[in-house]
């Protein structure tokens, strides 16, 4: 039997952890071991906390929520369309990015090493994007609905929290204010679409497929920027 639980507490337990992780990792990346340990601890928390809240606090049961054919098609279409927009925006504004500043920041993370870049690419496409869908599209979006009582409000809340830590990362990687605003508008729109997909299909796998396709486009641009 499900228990009544304060959804604001559940959201608070996870919503700002990615932001804290970004701030700590990029501010203290001179101490590589400490940064990596903190990064992994945050990822572990993001994996465990929503599951614990859902299963133990609320008393629900596990559900894998596998996607249907319509969901996979819609996930693929939205991912391809958004990837096309990402590429077009890069072609239009890519020359305005301070590539030297971005490369300097990437060097501190090791991403300028092709082996680490490939490993990072596989991690972000197949694991990190799935974790973000699990946290933001499933947990934060559904708890947002419980808290606010409106799908639109829940989508706006989840999309805003998702965009927050990405905006901070963009700032650290050398984006100037208007580039950050433009990129955040894209992130906010994508996150809203993914939350809408979740409400429509009740499956994070649909959202993940769309998200992963977009990450392929992002890392393709990153490869060109670093190694091209």
Question: Cα–Cα distance between 125 and 106 in angstroms, integer?
Answer: 18
Please choose, from the candidates 126, 187, 140, 106, the residue with its C-alpha nearest in 3D space to the C-alpha of residue 17. 140
SS (H, E, C) the chain: CCCCCCHHHHHHHHCCHHHHHHHHHHHCCCCHHHHHHHHHHHHHHHHHHHHHHHHHHCCCCCCCCCCCHHHHHHHHHHHHHHHHHHHHHHHHHHHHCCHHHHHHHHHHHCCCCHHHHHHHHHHHHHHHHHHHHHHHHHHHHHHHHHHHCCHHHHHHHHHHHHHHHHHHHHHHCCCCHHHHHHHHHHHHHHHHHHHHHHHHHCCHHHHHHHHHHHHHHHHHHHHHHHHC
Q: Which of the four pLDDT bands, split at 50, 70 and 90, describes residue 1?
A: very low
pTM for the whole structure: 0.93
The structural domains of the chain, with segments of one domain joined by +, span 68-227
Tokens of 201: 């299909």
Instruction: Reply yes or no on whether the pLDDT at 20 is more than 70.
Output: yes
Mean pLDDT, the chain, integer: 93
What's the average model confidence in pLDDT over 154-175?
94
Give pLDDT, residue 30.
65
Report the percentage of the chain scoring pLDDT > 90: 79
Give pLDDT, residue 29.
63
What's the average model confidence in pLDDT over 80-106?
92
Q: For 109-155, how does the pLDDT look when each residue is reduced to its tens digit (9 = 90+)?
A: 788 999 999 999 999 999 999 999 999 999 999 999 999 999 999 99
Instruction: Reply yes or no on whether the pLDDT at 27 is more than 80.
Output: no
∠ CA(109), CA(120), CA(84), 5° rounding?
A: 110
Please choose, from the candidates 215, 219, 220, 222, the residue with its C-alpha nearest in 3D space to the C-alpha of residue 194. 215
Please choose, from the candidates 109, 82, 110, 112, the residue with its C-alpha nearest in 3D space to the C-alpha of residue 183. 82
Instruction: Reply yes or no on whether the pLDDT at 173 is more than 60.
Output: yes
Q: Are 88 and 207 within 8 A, CB to CB?
A: no
Instruction: Reply yes or no on whether the pLDDT at 47 is more than 80.
Output: yes
Give pLDDT, residue 101.
82
């Amino acid at each position: 039997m499900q228990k009544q639980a304060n959804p604001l507490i559940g959201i608070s337990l996870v919503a700002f952890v990615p932001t804290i992780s970004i701030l700590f990792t990029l501010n203290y990346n001179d101490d590589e071991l400490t940064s990596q340990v903190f990064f992994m601890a945050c990822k572990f928390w993001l994996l465990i906390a929503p599951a614990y809240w859902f299963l133990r606090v609320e008393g629900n049961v596990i559900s894998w929520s596998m996607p249907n054919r319509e969901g996979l098609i819609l996930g693929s279409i939205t991912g391809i369309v958004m990837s096309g927009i990402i590429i077009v925006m890069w072609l239009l504004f890519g020359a305005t990015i301070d590539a030297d500043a971005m490369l300097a920041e990437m060097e501190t993370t090791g991403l300028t090493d092709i082996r680490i870049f490939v490993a990072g690419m596989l991690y972000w496409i197949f694991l990190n994007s799935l974790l973000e869908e699990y946290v933001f599209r499933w947990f934060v979006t559904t708890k947002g609905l419980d808290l606010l009582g409106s799908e639109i409000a829940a989508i706006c809340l989840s999309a805003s929290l998702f965009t927050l830590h990405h905006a901070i990362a963009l700032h650290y990687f050398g984006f100037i204010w208007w580039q950050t605003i433009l990129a955040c508008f894209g992130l906010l729109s994508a996150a809203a679409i993914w939350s809408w997909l979740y409400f429509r299909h009740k499956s994070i796998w649909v959202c993940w497929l769309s998200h992963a396709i977009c990450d392929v486009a992002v890392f393709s641009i990153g490869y060109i920027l670093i190694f091209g």
